[in-house]
């Protein structure tokens, strides 16, 4: 296996571990949005207004 394939595999494993942590500890909306944006490679997608509001409120401590 080439170094490039090793890096790709490592990134995929990291993403799956992050997804597992988010699904266990984050709100369902945030976990679902992250998984969709990171793990679904079928095309671009936008975050819903509800998820954007949740993220902004969390960022500003609200």
Cα 10 vs. chain centroid, distance in angstroms?
16
pLDDT tens-digit readout, 20-46: 999 999 999 999 999 999 998 887 888
The predicted pLDDT at position 22 comes to 95
pLDDT tens-digit readout, 3-23: 999 999 999 999 999 999 999
Kindly give, in sequence order, each residue whose CB lies less than 8 Å from that of residue 38, ignoring residues fewer than 6 positions away.
Answer: 15, 18, 19
7: which DSSP letter? H
28-39 and 3-25 are packed helices; what angle lies between their axes, rounded to 10 degrees? 160
The predicted pLDDT at position 25 comes to 96
The predicted pLDDT at position 58 comes to 87
């Amino acid at each position: 296996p080439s170094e490039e394939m090793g890096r790709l595999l490592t990134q995929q494993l990291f993403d799956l571990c992050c997804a597992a942590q988010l699904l266990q500890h984050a709100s369902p909306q945030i976990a679902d949005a992250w998984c969709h944006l990171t793990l679904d490679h079928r095309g671009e997608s936008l975050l819903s207004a509800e998820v954007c509001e949740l993220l902004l409120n969390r960022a500003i401590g609200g």
